[in-house]
Structure 1
Amino acid sequence: MNPTDPQTPGTPINPDEPDGPKWPTSTNYDKTVNETISYVDQNGHVVAKQHTDSVNFTRTVVVDNVTGEVITSGAGTTAWTATNGDTTFDAVVSPVVPGSVADKAQTAAVTDLNADSANVNETVTYTKVGSLVPSSSDGNFPGAPTVVYPNDPSDATKVTPAGVPTVPGYTAHDPEGHVLTPGSSYQPSDPMKDTTITYTADKQKGSVSYVDDTTGKTLKTDSISGTTGSKSSYSTSGNIADYKKQGYELVTDGYPADLTFDNDDTTDQNFTVHLKHQNIQSTEAKTVTETIHYQGAGNQTPADNTAQVTFTRQVSTDTVTGEKTYGSWSADQSFAAVTSPVIKGYTPDQAEIGAQTVSGDASDLDFTVIYTKDATTKPVNPSQPTMPAKPVNPSQPTTPAKPVNPSQPTTPAKPVQAGQAAATNFVDQRLPQTDETDQQHMTLSGLLLLAMSSVLGLFGMTKRQRKE
Structure 2
Amino acid sequence: MTAMISAAVLGSAGIVHADVTSQSSATTPTDTSEVVAKTTDLGKAALTTSQNTESSADQNSNKQESTAPVSSNDQEKKASVENNQNNTEKTTNPEKEQSSDTVLKSSVSSVANNENKEVKSVTPATSSFATDENIVSQRTVPQANSTITVSNPTDYPTQAAKLVGKNSQGQPYYIYQIVNLRNPTLDSQQARLILAVDPANPQGNNFVYVTTDQYKKIYGNVYVIAPGRYADIAVGTSGSTSPNGENSRIFRVSNTQPFTFNFNGKTISVPASVSIKSVRTVNPVYGLGNQAKINYTDKVDITPELNNPAIEYIYRDKDGNYTTNSALPTNVPVNGITGQRFLITNVDNYKQVVKGYYLTNQKDSLSNTANGKDYQGTISQFQIGKYYQKTLYNWDRSVSQTLIYELLDPQGTMNISLVRPNAKTETKRVAVGQVDRFSNGTLARNPFVPGANAVQLVYADLGHIIPVDENGQVISQDQPIYNNDETDAHKAAATASPDLTAESWVLNDPKQATITPANPGEDTKVEYRRVIINTETKTVTQTVKYEYADGITEGRPSLPAPRVQVATFTHTTITNPVTGDIISDTWTPAQKFTTVYSPKVDGFYADFAYVGGNDNVTQNTPDTTFVVKYAGPNENVEHQTVTQTVHYQYKDGITEGRPALPQDNVQQKSFTHTVKTDPEGNIIEDTWTPDQADNQFTAVKSPNIHDEATDTNYYYDQAVVGGNTNVTQSTPDTEFIVYYLPGNITTQSKSITQTVHYAYQDGVTQGRPALPTDNVQRVTFTQKIETNPFTGDVTGYNWDPIYSKFDSVQTPELKGFYADQEVAGGDTHVIPEDSDTTYTVYYAAPVSKITDEKHVTQTITYEYADGITANRPTLPRTDVQTKVFYRTVTTNPWTDKVISDTWSPAQNFTVVQTPTINGYYYDQAQAGSNSAVTHENPDTEYIVQYAPGKVTTEDKTVTQTIKYEYADGVTEGRPTLPADNAITVDFTHTIVRDPWTDKVISDTWSPAQTINPVESPTIDGFTPDHAEIPGKTITYDSENLEYVVKYTKDEEPNKPTPEEPTPEEPTTPEPEKPNGPVEETPTPSQPQPTVPAPEAPVQQPTKPVEESSEIPVINQVVSAKPAAPNKEANNKLPQTGNQDSTAIIGLGLVTAFASLFGFGKRKSEK
TM over 0.5: no
Q: TM-score range by the shorter chain?
A: 0.3 to 0.5
TM-score by length of 1: 0.33
Structure with the higher fraction of residues in strand conformation: 2
- 1 or 2, which has the higher helix percentage? 1
TM-score normalised by L of structure 2: 0.15
